[in-house]
Structure 1
Amino acid sequence: MSEAAFRDLYRRLRDQAPEGGEYRRGALERLTPERVAAAAAGVRSGRTVSLAAPIETTAGPDDPEPATHRMVAPAPGEAEAPGLHFARDRFAMNVHGDADSHLDALCHVIFDGELYGGVPASSVTPDGADALTVDLVRDGIVGRGVLLDIPRLRGVPWLEPGDTVTAEDLAAAEAAQEVTTGPGDLLFVRVGHRRRRRSLGAWDAAQARAGLHPEAMPFLAERRVAALGSDGNNDTAPSPVAEVPFPVHVLAVHAMGLHLMDYLDFEELVPVCEQLGRWHFLCVIAPLRLPAATGSPVNPIAVL
């Protein structure tokens, strides 16, 4: 895809995007209380499934800066002493890495000197972001989740790094799974990244990974989805647009106002969906309250 074609697509999607309301919530404006209530009413079995992977604390080819976790108490020998003691620990992570499940805030993507909605990039400072931060979703993202399983559609265990998911793939997965993505839905696209990683081991996902093709994004605009998540990065590597390394991030976050969730894990959810014969569910997403942050670790919960 040429840069000129990409920029034309960017302009078209930006012009179709919701204004985001008073608080610039982007596509989350489509997630109305009525749609949340309808999603909750659709729960049948009450079964809950996590859509997050365990946080990595060991360095690997896709995670050179893993999260750190260390115990700060009790001190050696303290726990055996009489009286009350507490176990305490400290945790730190690179939120936007290529291994851990996380949510991208609307301030995460800077393109042509601006954030989503024309907010100046200068609002992101060394002390944090002043606008479009994770604080926009401090009350959570709750709605109808839809999982489209592309490897299942193609009859393979996973998509190989560098492969792309097209709009035709998404429409075909809807038909095969007898589900339709609609306004305000939280769309999850499985490429099989987690299954491949567990089967073959980690690799440098920054250089090679499966993801959506930029030309698939009008499908999301037509369906008027509220958020997008994948078990990969959402973007393909190498990029289909040589001049733009993360075109789906630019289109989703910057043009369309979509919160993105990267490196989720659908391997426990897929067999439950197959067993129940339904690929939609209530989804509850609760990022940490980090007022100046560009993203957050996240553990979405599917309720079926």
Structure 2
Amino acid sequence: MSQDIDTKPSTRAGITVGTSPWGPDDQLGALNYLKEDVRVDMLARADASTLYDLSVDYFVGMPSFQGAGDPGYQIFLSHTPQGTLVDNLNGAGDAVNRHVCYSGDVVFMYTHTGTHIDALNHFGVDGEIYNNFGVEENLGSRSWTKGGAEQIPPIITRGVLIDVAKLHGVECLPDSYPITVDDLQGALGAAGLQLNEGDVPFVRTGRMRYWPDGAKTLGNPPGLSLDAARWLTDQKIAAVGSDQECVEVGPSEHEDNWLPGHCHFLAETGVPMIELLNLEELSADGVDEFCLMAAPIRLRGASGAPMRPIAMALRD
């Protein structure tokens, strides 16, 4: 595959905050498109003989976004068997602590590390997040009171793999390749699929084949152009995901917005974004349509949370 890519900003994104059609108190956004009958159908048709875990391990030194100064992943033991014996912080005494080997640990990380979902309060426009929740009334000292990760329900619906790398016959799309509407439609056509209301499309660039080499998986990602993002939301998807760190192409193609895809999905249309998905096994096995089961940790007010999506192929 070869394509000349001009990464210089050339146009304005023109994104505004969206007002929810589900009312002034709505914090679900496009997740309102999730339907019970689809969930029941997906679970009934799911082939549980093979599970595809679409998440990555968390470990010290793992690739993570630190471009804006956020910390990398760290884990520390807060209790060890020998330490508990020495300091007796649990108060159980020497004999019990020699018998019972107690360990505990503490994790410290940016919430947008590893496979995770972006909540609707992650990005806004002109001081407001999706559904016109403004900073003056809804941003506290520690977190937003609206649009946090705890609002995201378990997502059980039809997942669709849009394998753009396979469409072009490459292992991985080039750096900063802007995925077009034609790319999306071409990949769906090659799989004989179309998007339905409430689906969650996962766009494969091939980046995750290099995980955990941070030099190859992060930075200048191939990803959705703004036109492609807008085409996806026009299909009334419930959420969107990709196998790179920001779903959209980087760097931005628009001079007025450094992450226009984030602003469009999250602030304008209320579509949560799932990032750093491992889509390699789905692609290798040709699983383009599947039952998706995914849920984040319910971190109240957080702008994102770790997620472990599971896919199961569908029976005919």
Range class of TM-score, shorter chain? 0.7 to 0.9
| Equivalent-residue separation in structure 2 for 1:290 and 1:62 (angstroms) | 19
On the 8 A contact 1:61/1:203 being kept in 2, the answer is: no
Unaligned runs of 5+ in 2: 1-8, 86-94
Q: Which residue of 1 aligns with 2:75?
A: 69
Partner SS for 2:71: coil
Separation in 1, partners of 2:201, 2:63:
29
SS at structure 2 position matched to 1:46: coil
Deviation at 1:124, TM superposition (A): 2.5
Match for 2:180: what amino acid? T
1:189 to 1:20, Cα distance in 2 relative to 1, 3 A: farther
Alpha-carbon distance, 1:230 to partner: 0.6
Q: 241, 261, 269: which one pairs with 1:229? A: 241
> What is the distance in 2 between the residues matched to 1:185 and 1:204?
29
* CA contact 2:63–2:218 (8 Å) conserved in 1: no
How many angstroms does 1:41 deviate by? Answer: 2.2
Q: Which runs of 5+ in 1 are unaligned?
A: none
92, 106, 130: which one pairs with 1:116? Answer: 130
State the secondary structure of the residue aligned to 1:86: coil
Residue identity matched to 1:68: Q
Deviates more, 1:235-244 or 1:78-87: 78-87
2:100 to 77, 84, 104: 84
Distance 1:127 1:204, change over 3 A: farther
Cα deviation for residue 291 of structure 1 reads 1.4
Give how far 1:204 is off: 8.2
Counterpart of 1:262 (choices 271, 275, 278) is 275
Q: Which amino acid in 2 is paired with 1:261?
A: I
Instruction: Indicate whether 1:158 and 2:185 are aligned.
Output: no
Aligned-partner Cα distance in 1 for 2:48–2:62: 39
Q: Secondary structure at the match of 1:128?
A: coil
Residues 1:26 and 2:29 are matched in the alignment: yes
RMSD of aligned residue pairs (Cα, Å): 2.5
Q: Distance in 1 between matches of 2:178 and 2:281?
A: 23
Counterpart for residue 42 of structure 1: 45
Whichever of the two has the greater Rg, that structure is 2
Distance 1:287 1:61 in 2: 18
Partner of 1:95: 111
8 Å CA contact retained: 1:186, 1:226: yes
CA contact (8 A) 1:18 1:256 kept: no
* Percentage of pairs with the same residue: 25
- C-alpha separation between the residues in 1 aligned to 2:271 and 2:255? 23
Distance between the aligned counterparts of 1:85 and 1:158, measured in 2?
Answer: 46
**1:85-120: per-residue Cα shift (whole Å, max 9, x none)?**
3221111211125xx111110111121111001110
Aligned residue pair count: 290
Question: Are 1:125 and 2:140 an aligned pair?
Answer: yes
